[in-house]
Amino acid sequence: MLALAGVALQAKYTFETTRDSLRALSGPGPTRSQRELGAVIDGRLAQPMLALRRVIPREATFAVRVGLEPPVDSSLLEAIPPLLKYWLLPRRYTDDAHAADWVITFHHPSDTLGVTIRRDIALGPDVHAVEVAR
C-alpha cells in the first residue's frame, strides 16, 4: 500500500512538471535580443544597447569609455566592454579612441575624450555614441 502511494505521488509530480514545461514551451519565447543579452536587455541598458546597433555602422570601429561619475558599480565597469565587443559584432573594437570611428561612453563626458567630435548622440541616461571626425 505504501509503495502504491509513493508511485501515485511520483506520477502526480511527473504530470505537473510535464504540464508546466509544455506551457512554457507553447508560450511566446524571448526575443533574439533577450536571448543574446539576458538580464541586461531588461534593465537600464536595454534601449541604449538596441540603439547602438542601429546607430553605429556594421563596418565601423569603436572604443568604449566608462567614467566614474556618478559612482558606477565596479561589475558594470568590467562587464560593459566585453559585452559590447560581442553585441556589436561585426563592428571592430579598439582600445584607442583616436583610431576608432565611434566612441561609446558610459558616465563619461564626451568633451574629455580627446578626439574631434562629429556627432554626439545621447542614447539613454549617461550613455552616448560619439562619432569621431576624420
Query: What would the pLDDT profile of 71-94 be if each residue is shown by its tens digit?
Result: 666 666 677 889 899 999 999 999
The mean pLDDT value of the chain amounts to: 81
Report percent pLDDT > 90 for the chain: 40
| Helices (H), ranges, the chain | 2-26, 32-37, 46-55, 74-87
Tens-place pLDDT, residues 37-46: 655 545 667 7
Q: What are phi and psi of 130, to 5 degrees?
A: -110, 120
Cα separation, 111 vs 117, whole angstroms:
8
CA atoms of 93 and 90, how far apart (whole Å):
9
Residue of 32 and 102 predicted with greater confidence: 102
pLDDT at 109 over 70: yes
Sequence-ordered list of residues with C-beta below 8 angstroms from that of 130, at least 6 positions apart, any chain:
102, 103, 104, 105, 110, 113, 115, 117, 119, 120, 121
Percentage of the residues of the chain whose pLDDT score is greater than 70:
61
The answer to whether 100 touches 132, Cβ cutoff 8 Å, is yes
Q: Does the pLDDT of residue 119 top 80, yes or no?
A: yes
Looking at per-residue pLDDT, the higher value among 16 and 54 belongs to 54
Q: What is the C-alpha separation between 95 and 84, in angstroms, rounded?
A: 12
Between CA 120 and CA 125 the distance in angstroms is 14
Please count the helices (runs of H) and the strands (runs of E) in the chain.
4, 5
Cβ-based neighbours of 65, under 8 Å, separated by 6 or more: 97, 103, 104, 105, 106, 108, 113
Rg (CA), the chain: 23
Position 117 scores a pLDDT of 96
Residue 16: pLDDT over 70: no
Query: For the chain, which residues make up each domain, given as ranges?
Result: 1-30, 32-132
pLDDT at 30 over 90: no
